[in-house]
Structures are given as structure tokens and as C-alpha cells.
Amino acid sequence: MMAEDRVPLPVTLEPGASMPGYATEGAVGMDLRCLQAFQLDPMQRMAVPTGVRVAIPEGFEGQVRPRSGLAFKFGISIVNAPGTIDSDYRGEIKVLLINLGEDVVKFEQGERIAQLVLCPVARAHPVRVQELEDTTRGEAGFGSTGRS
């Protein structure tokens, strides 16, 4: 995708905050970095400030996703993954991290803690009907389509 084809994302930064950015040309998620140093004890949750505010364009959502390296190495994830940023939200992005590992994990100011992905969304118009159309799956729920 050429730079002129990209969706503009207005961003404001608090002092010390880092601009979200892609690590490589093929990256889908923009790195979000912590505004200050912190640590997470095992099973501790924390809303970690980034110092970043964005104006998600109408028709899109921002998804805040875990970083695979932090998950693999330390058991760090996002409690509500993926977290959604609505197009009308203008507050600071805070990342709801959790330490699912067995050790305390320390972060330095400016470390990458999550990814921000911009995704197109459609808004539904719910319409009440008497019954839903049948499918092969029907009402079969959790695990009904097999393990893999």
C-alpha cells in the first residue's frame, strides 16, 4: 500500500509519549509504547498509560492487541483483547495489561506494550423476525465445529 493510500490517523501526544508506528513495511499493527516505567506482578492487571490520543476515522475501529513476544516470553497479555477504540473516543489510550506469568515483569519508559490495528467496521440495523434461517450448524455452540 502506498503512503497516499493510507487512512489518515490524527494523533496527539503527551510529553514523553511516542508516536504509534509500524515496525516494518508489512506490519499490520502500530506499536504502542508505555508513557512511564512500571512493573507487573504475577496475575496483576494494570491500565498502562501511553500518552497517545487518536481520532479514529468514522467507519473504523481501533483494536488494541497483545504483542506476541511479550506473551511468549513473559506471559503478558491484554485483559480485554482485543480492546476496542470507538471512532468518537478522544481520551488517552490505556492498555489493560495482565501478567499471566510466574515472575515480576519490569518495563522501561517507551517500551512497546501493545499493537494498534485500524479495522473497517459495519454498523448493524437490528430487525426483529419470527425465526432465523436454518444452517447446517444450527444451535450447536462452543466446540461444536471440532478441535482444529
Instruction: Read off the amino acid at residue 46.
Output: M
User: What residue spans define the domains of the chain?
Assistant: 35-120
pLDDT in tens, 5-54: 789 999 999 999 999 999 999 999 999 999 999 999 999 999 999 999 99
CA angle (29 as vertex; 26, 32 as ends), nearest 5: 130
**Under a CB-based contact definition with an 8 Å cutoff, are residues 11 and 54 in contact?**
yes
How large a percentage of the chain has pLDDT more than 70?
95
Reported confidence tier of residue 143, pLDDT bands at 50, 70, 90? confident
Q: Does 35-120 carry CATH code 2.70.40.10? A: yes
Global confidence as pTM: 0.87
Q: Parallel, antiparallel, or unpaired: how do β-strands 60-65 and 112-120 relate?
A: antiparallel
Mean pLDDT of the chain: 94
